[in-house]
């Protein structure tokens, strides 16, 4: 009888240990929709943050995403899109676990999502007709300044803007058309918006003493990935300091 009881107790202990081990393993993969796989969406900005090289993303955002995968023990799958709207739609539809797109932390579209720590910064730009090299709002003597969708939340931090007639544009394309036609004198845009407007008729210059936008990665609301993502951002910045003596943004 004692042998049977001992065997039963030993069996219960082994079963409990196995259940505990299974619980630990499942906790790690709950942060992603597909166990063990981190699906990352990135906007192809053709810049230092993200570019498409031979079909693969390279740049600051891709480097951070790889650190997230390493830190969480995931394999990684990238999906590249051409604009932030497509990126956020994919995230909300469950296509991605994590999304990078040089998204300002003031962007109202991410209010229902989980945001990471700041991983980079960028200045604001004046988009003007070709060969107009204005880079300071305070020198605008007359005319109207367009405000792009993403710069509207921080426009009041721009030096000299209080004295300028302003009009907010919900459509970046329309702002570009109005600059080109002379309907407005110039447009205030963030770096990615400005790069998207540059062409045969428009150019852009960074605003002197420009306030800096702060960029964050985004995840589904309440995502447990946040801690791992923030640790990866911290590690990326430490790596850059060690390599160059400067921060990562």
Q: What is the CATH number of the domain that holds 108?
A: 3.40.190.10
Task: Give the best-scoring range by mean pLDDT among 42-51, 52-61, 210-219, 225-234.
Answer: 225-234
On whether both 177 and 64 belong to a single domain, the answer is no
pLDDT over threshold 80, residue 22: no
Q: How far is CA 29 from CA 17, 32, 42, 152, in A?
A: 19, 6, 21, 38
pLDDT of residue 241: 85
On whether both 35 and 117 belong to a single domain, the answer is yes
pLDDT of residue 247: 56
Would residue 14 count as lying in a domain? no
How many whole angstroms from its chain centre is CA 104? 7
pLDDT over threshold 60, residue 17: no
Q: HSE of 230 in the Cβ direction (CA atoms, 13 Å)?
A: 9
On whether both 43 and 115 belong to a single domain, the answer is yes
Q: How far apart are CA 185 and CA 223, in angstroms?
A: 43
- Report DSSP state, residue 5: H
**Residue 88 is encoded by which pair of tokens?**
């956020």
pLDDT over threshold 50, residue 162: yes
- The better pLDDT of the pair 83, 201 is held by 201
pLDDT over threshold 60, residue 27: no
Q: Is residue 146 a contact partner of residue 167, using CB atoms and an 8 Å limit?
A: yes
Would residue 70 count as lying in a domain? yes
Overall average pLDDT of the 68-90 stretch: 95
Model pLDDT for residues 95-147, shown as the tens digit of each residue: 999 999 999 998 989 999 999 999 998 889 999 999 999 888 877 767 899 99
- The better pLDDT of the pair 69, 1 is held by 69
Pairing state of beta strands 98-104 and 37-43? parallel
Task: Give the best-scoring range by mean pLDDT among 6-10, 127-131, 236-240.
Answer: 127-131
Residue entry with tokens 């943050």: 49
On whether both 129 and 200 belong to a single domain, the answer is yes
On whether both 44 and 102 belong to a single domain, the answer is yes
On whether both 129 and 94 belong to a single domain, the answer is no
Range of the domain at 145: 124-206
Q: How far apart are CA 209 and CA 167, in angstroms?
A: 22
Cβ neighbours for 94, distance < 8 A, ≥ 6 positions apart: 33, 220
Would residue 3 count as lying in a domain? no
Pairing state of beta strands 114-122 and 213-219? antiparallel
pLDDT of residue 153: 84
Overall average pLDDT of the 139-162 stretch: 86
On whether both 188 and 86 belong to a single domain, the answer is no
Confidence band for 240, pLDDT divided at 50, 70 and 90: confident
Confidence band for 159, pLDDT divided at 50, 70 and 90: confident
Confidence band for 246, pLDDT divided at 50, 70 and 90: low
**Residue 102 is encoded by which pair of tokens?**
């040089």
What pTM was estimated for this model as a whole? 0.70
Would residue 130 count as lying in a domain? yes
pLDDT of residue 229: 98
């Amino acid at each position: 009888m004692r042998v049977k009881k001992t065997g039963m107790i030993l069996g219960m202990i082994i079963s409990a240990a196995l259940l505990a081990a299974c619980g630990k393993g499942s906790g790690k993969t709950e942060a992603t929709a597909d166990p063990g796989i981190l699906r990352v969406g990135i906007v192809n900005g053709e810049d230092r943050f993200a570019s498409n090289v031979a079909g693969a993303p390279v740049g600051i955002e891709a480097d951070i995403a790889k650190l997230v995968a390493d830190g969480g023990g995931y394999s990684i799958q990238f999906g590249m899109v051409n604009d932030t709207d497509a990126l956020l739609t994919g995230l909300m539809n469950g296509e991605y676990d994590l999304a990078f797109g040089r998204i300002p932390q003031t962007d109202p579209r991410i209010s229902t999502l989980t945001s990471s720590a700041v991983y980079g910064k960028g200045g604001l730009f004046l988009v003007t007709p070709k060969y107009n090299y204005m880079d300071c709002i305070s020198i605008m003597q007359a005319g109207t300044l367009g405000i792009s969708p993403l710069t509207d939340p921080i426009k009041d931090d721009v030096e000299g803007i209080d004295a300028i007639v302003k009009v907010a544009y919900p459509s970046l394309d329309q702002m570009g058309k109005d600059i080109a036609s002379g309907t407005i004198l110039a447009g205030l845009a963030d770096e990615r918006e400005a790069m998207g407007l540059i062409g045969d008729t428009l150019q852009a210059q960074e605003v002197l003493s420009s306030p800096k936008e702060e960029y964050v990665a985004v995840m589904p609301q309440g995502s447990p990935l946040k801690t791992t993502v923030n640790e990866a951002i911290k590690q990326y910045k430490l790596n850059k300091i060690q390599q160059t003596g400067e921060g990562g943004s």
